[in-house]
Structure 1
Amino acid sequence: MVHTCVVVRCKHRKTAGSGISFYRFPTDEERRQKWINAIKREPGWMPNDGSRLCSAHFISGKQSRNPLSPDYVPSVFPDTTSPDKKRKRTALERFEKREALKLRRRENAAKETAAQALMTLQTEALEKVQMEQDLQEEAAETLLSLQVHQPSMSCQSAQQASTSTSSPSDTVSAASIELECRRLLEENHHLKETVEHLSLSENSFKDDDKVKFCTGLPSLTLLQTVLQEISPFLNTHPKAVLSKFQQLLMTLMYLRLNLCNQDLAYRFNVNCSTVSRTVNSVIDVLYARLVPMAVFWPEREELRKTLPIVFRSVYPKCTVIIDCFEVTMERSSDQRAKSQTYSSYKARNTLKYLIGVAPQGAIIFISKGWGGGRASDKHITENCGILYKLQPGDEVLADRGFNIHDSVGVYGATLKKPAFTKGKSQLSKEEAETTRKLASVRIHVERVIGLVRQKYEVLNGPVEICKLMRKDENMTTFDKVVHVACALTNLCTSIVPFD
């Protein structure tokens, strides 16, 4: 039997087989009265216990058992206007969103409760294991102390005495207990050594090879010297999770290995936010304390006294060798920034830095980062501040792209760069010889750039956009990273031989 809609003039009465559901008139009194009040607009009709109402009279197409839902009672009838239907649908969507939010909150609360219970069980299990280990260590120490307090009794006499006063089974049991205690002591000692070796603490860095791999510095002595220099300015909070050594180590490992924050968080057993905050603060300290000591423009007399032999014969007045290098960066969502930093040479978005290297191989100048696509070598050189450090009579070695003869000449210095073949079939003999000599010494700046990027892989990119926001002194975080990497490289042995 096909039930028809209780509303006499309902058009859904003949479409019961086309997805229309029918709901029996409720029997509970409270809901029954709400239904009656809702359908009073149908004149001359009063529902009874056998009446049914189709799903078309509900907003969502089905009834709800939740008293707070708009579909708890029928509300859509032929005389319901479109604005009223729209408001009802909006109210239903708002109700469903609230219910979904309540469900997620209940699920999250259940997950948190389960996680807390699991943590409690793990803590209890660890405490139980620790208590058992303490009891075993105490028993072993007691046994050893008894052996120490009886030095006069030799092993043979002790065995004879025990044999005469105890049964063979007791003797075997005591010997097995003693062997087990010794085994546990050795295992405990071995585990302590393993944990100490795997932990990233100061005691575990006694090998210079490990220091060189993790930090790029050649020895533990140099690492301790750097730590001693910046230690008063590091985080000294009594509840700090990381020690001062670990703060410096984490930062150097980020520079050296280009590890992400999550990797460092796993290695040091801290949160990602702690890693980011620690690395940024230590970078600021190194930039303020170490960079001025390691990256500076030396006096001319000092440069002349320590000038390498290879420069004395060809360029005795050489003061600095300049060049630029580019670091890849993440692509910005800003179209203007994307076009300004796109480098056609690298075919990607890059930052460009100008570096100045002394003939001795030390980095004596490093500029701020410039957009790799729009900024030319000449523009960076004329606006980064390196020309202010030149004195009359100085010689500057550069590549062909540095067309800065006039800019250098304003300060009384001389620019030396390879000759061009533009407009010529080939270079003359004198030009070829000069270019060869220049290339033999100018190559040192490229070697230094390669050393810095090989020693500290963070300079190979890609640079995160968040590290390119200018904070203080018009310096970005990555600008400070580049300066610190150059300062740390200057602390190592120079790649340019003096002889």
Structure 2
Amino acid sequence: MGRTCCVVSCNARSHNHKGRKLDNGLSFCGFPSWKKLQGGIVSDITKRRRMARLAAVRHPKIKFASIQRYMKVCSRHFHSGEFFDHLLLVMRKIRFYCIITATETAKKQKQTFSFSQISSHPDKVNYYTGLPDAATVLFLEALLSKFDLQYHFDWNVQIMPLIDQLLLTLMKLRLNCGILDLATRFNCSRATVTNIFTTISSALYDILYVGMMENNIPSRVKNQTSLPVCFQPFPDCQIVLDCTEVAVSNTERLDTQSHLYSHYKGRTTLKALNGVAPNGVITFASDLYGGSTSDKAITADCGVLQQLQPGDVVMADEGFTIRDILPEGVSLNIPTLLVNGQFTVQEVNHNRLVASARIHVEHSIRLKTFAILTYIPYQYKKHANKILKVGVCLTNLQKPILREIA
């Protein structure tokens, strides 16, 4: 089909009257289209180019909104003698930039840490969460999904799936990762990290501790159904008591420093009493006290004695001088202290049996596998009680140490 230049006073044609193509070196191009749907910048540029081409043609019958596709302009009217769409080059650069940006965004999204990246690797699940396998983590997620979460900062976190919010919380408990570290790993703000950790840890406290463990020490009859061999000499043992200390940052007030200072640890700490059943399950966890508080004072105040029944036996180490505060009918089993310079045969055998049983229980107190319980950051000091008790509950979800219990 022959083409004719529509510029006023121009008679250039691509073919002669017989339909044969003329070898005149001319090329013909149409009017620039107005790309209204490709963004404000492209829309404005293409509209201006269309209007400029229309003004240069000066054809009275050609209107902006009704330019026919067959209307062409020959190359005589371009400065270079050849039509070149500079916008096409610009558009190619824009598309290239968009591709690069989309690729970088995809890479950033891939770098966001998530549970799906570790769920098929039990060793990674255990390392990052302190729990034995992915099924245990998913069990906790199922409990959380049924719980009415009240976010700490009064704004909901919608950019992250619940399973990854749980993973973030468990990583803070297990590894005590810094706030900025977690924000970088999960591609979110530091405020979001704090909001998630405080909210999810509080929810786990309500679900696992308040709902399942608080004021619920098993009876010695129930303990006897899963009594390890090393506790056979102590069938009436109800609970083994032990204290754990958690380091905290110093405070500016001297009286508070004195209350928190632990001579045993040589620094400011918080201290809690844990009660462990013979089978290694932690069945009692007290609130945290200042590091200077004695084991006896914590035992008397924390409420564990009120849950004991006549006939129960409490096992502890020699530092627990609590015999005089035990309820009536409850006895204390601790290693015999050296009085006359030499133990009797009976005392040696007794101490050996107690030590054997206590070592098993002390191995079961694996709270410190959660690194946050070796040092609680300053900003979470007021949440320390909940953090400790969540750590206790998560420890109970770990695999037993002894094969006879597993």
Partner residue in 2 for 1:444: 360
Partner residue in 2 for 1:419: 336
Is the Cα contact below 8 Å between 1:294 and 1:491 reproduced in 2? no
TM-fit CA distance, 1:213: 1.1
Aligned with 2:355: secondary structure? helix
> Partner letter of residue 403 of structure 1?
T
Is the Cα contact below 8 Å between 2:114 and 2:164 reproduced in 1? yes
Partner residue in 2 for 1:342: 261
Q: How many residues align?
A: 306
TM-fit CA distance, 1:421: 1.2
Q: How does 1:68-87 map to 2 (within 5 A)?
A: none
Aligned with 2:245: secondary structure? strand
TM-fit CA distance, 1:211: 1.1
> Partner letter of residue 171 of structure 2?
M
Deviations 1:455-485 (A, max 9, x none): 2111111x2344333xxxxxxx111111011
> Partner letter of residue 301 of structure 1?
V
Match 1:464 to one of 370, 373, 377 = 377
Q: How does 1:104-183 map to 2 (within 5 A)?
A: 128-131=96-99
Aligned counterparts of 1:300 and 1:289: Cα–Cα separation in 2? 25
Aligned with 1:266: secondary structure? helix
2:405 aligned with 1:491: no
Partner residue in 2 for 1:431: 347
Deviations 1:388-439 (A, max 9, x none): 111111111001111111222x2421100011113x1111111111111101
2:227 aligned with 1:310: no
Aligned counterparts of 2:234 and 2:324: Cα–Cα separation in 1? 20
Match 1:203 to one of 116, 128, 131 = 116
Match 2:387 to one of 474, 481, 488 = 481
Aligned with 2:270: secondary structure? strand
Deviations 1:131-152 (A, max 9, x none): 4799xxxxxxxxxxxxxxxxxx
Aligned counterparts of 1:282 and 1:206: Cα–Cα separation in 2? 23
RMSD: 2.6
> Partner letter of residue 211 of structure 1?
V
2:297 aligned with 1:379: yes
Partner residue in 2 for 1:390: 308
Deviations 1:96-144 (A, max 9, x none): xxxxxxxxxxxxxxxxxxxxxxxxxxxxx9974444799xxxxxxxxxx
Aligned counterparts of 1:337 and 1:443: Cα–Cα separation in 2? 34
Structure 2 alignment gaps of length 5 or more: 1-92
Partner residue in 2 for 1:101: none
Give the TM-score normalised by the residue count of structure 2: 0.70
> Partner letter of residue 225 of structure 1?
F
Is the Cα contact below 8 Å between 2:231 and 2:278 reproduced in 1? yes
Aligned counterparts of 1:491 and 1:439: Cα–Cα separation in 2? 25
Is the Cα contact below 8 Å between 1:323 and 1:445 reproduced in 2? no
Aligned counterparts of 2:100 and 2:320: Cα–Cα separation in 1? 73
Aligned counterparts of 1:396 and 1:262: Cα–Cα separation in 2? 45
Match 2:126 to one of 188, 212, 219 = 212
2:243 aligned with 1:327: no
Q: How does 1:268-283 map to 2 (within 5 A)?
A: 268-283=186-201
Deviations 1:40-98 (A, max 9, x none): xxxxxxxxxxxxxxxxxxxxxxxxxxxxxxxxxxxxxxxxxxxxxxxxxxxxxxxxxxx
Aligned counterparts of 2:252 and 2:156: Cα–Cα separation in 1? 42
TM-fit CA distance, 1:346: 1.2
Aligned counterparts of 1:319 and 1:273: Cα–Cα separation in 2? 44
Pick closer, same or farther for the CA change 1:364–1:126 going to 2, 3 Å: farther
TM-fit CA distance, 1:319: 1.0
Pick closer, same or farther for the CA change 1:247–1:235 going to 2, 3 Å: farther
Aligned counterparts of 1:465 and 1:437: Cα–Cα separation in 2? 41
Aligned counterparts of 1:202 and 1:361: Cα–Cα separation in 2? 29
Aligned counterparts of 2:377 and 2:109: Cα–Cα separation in 1? 34
> Partner letter of residue 257 of structure 2?
K
Is the Cα contact below 8 Å between 1:360 and 1:498 reproduced in 2? no
Aligned counterparts of 2:227 and 2:136: Cα–Cα separation in 1? 25
2:288 aligned with 1:369: yes
Aligned counterparts of 1:239 and 1:335: Cα–Cα separation in 2? 39
Pick closer, same or farther for the CA change 1:219–1:367 going to 2, 3 Å: same
Deviations 1:167-196 (A, max 9, x none): xxxxxxxxxxxxxxxxxxxxx9xx97x878
Give the TM-score normalised by the residue count of structure 1: 0.57
TM-fit CA distance, 1:252: 0.2
Is the Cα contact below 8 Å between 2:230 and 2:353 reproduced in 1? no
> Partner letter of residue 400 of structure 1?
E
> Partner letter of residue 394 of structure 1?
D
Partner residue in 2 for 1:222: 136
2:340 aligned with 1:402: no
Pick closer, same or farther for the CA change 1:433–1:126 going to 2, 3 Å: farther
> Partner letter of residue 346 of structure 1?
K
2:167 aligned with 1:249: yes
Identity of aligned residues (%): 35
Aligned with 1:293: secondary structure? coil
Is the Cα contact below 8 Å between 2:157 and 2:196 reproduced in 1? no
Is the Cα contact below 8 Å between 1:287 and 1:480 reproduced in 2? yes
> Partner letter of residue 367 of structure 2?
V
Partner residue in 2 for 1:107: none
Aligned counterparts of 1:243 and 1:235: Cα–Cα separation in 2? 16
Aligned counterparts of 1:431 and 1:338: Cα–Cα separation in 2? 41
Structure 1 alignment gaps of length 5 or more: 1-124, 135-187, 470-476
